[in-house]
Amino acid sequence: MSDLAQELLDAAREVAHRPARWLDRLADEHRQAVEAARDSWLKTGQASGISATRLAKVIVEKMTSLGYRTASWKQVQRWITTGKSD
């Protein structure tokens, strides 16, 4: 087997072992919109009258309607409040 063939196999194996985060699956435009909504929520916090749970559920609902496979609303809520995305 050639070095290049082995390199390709190794690269594919690395990607296969690391599942894509739900946020990484979004098109740039949609990811930017989700991040902008999160940033706005973080700035206003509870004063906005929107809970992290409600925002997470709306994000999951909207992204699912656009054809994306997302994380659960609880995982999205965790990302909203901590910045950690599974």
pLDDT digits (tens, 9 = 90+) for 46-76: 688 899 999 999 999 999 999 998 899 999 9
Tell which wins on pLDDT, 21 or 53.
53
Tell which wins on pLDDT, 3 or 52.
52
Q: Which of 6, 47, 1, 68 is nearest to 76 (CA)?
A: 68
Separation in Å, CA 33 to CA 6, 27, 50: 39, 10, 17
Tokens of 43: 């700035």
Confidence of residue 10 (pLDDT cuts 50, 70, 90): confident
pTM of the model: 0.74
Tokens of 27: 């098109």
Q: Which of 76, 69, 75, 67 is nearest to 37 (CA)?
A: 76
Tokens of 17: 């072992």
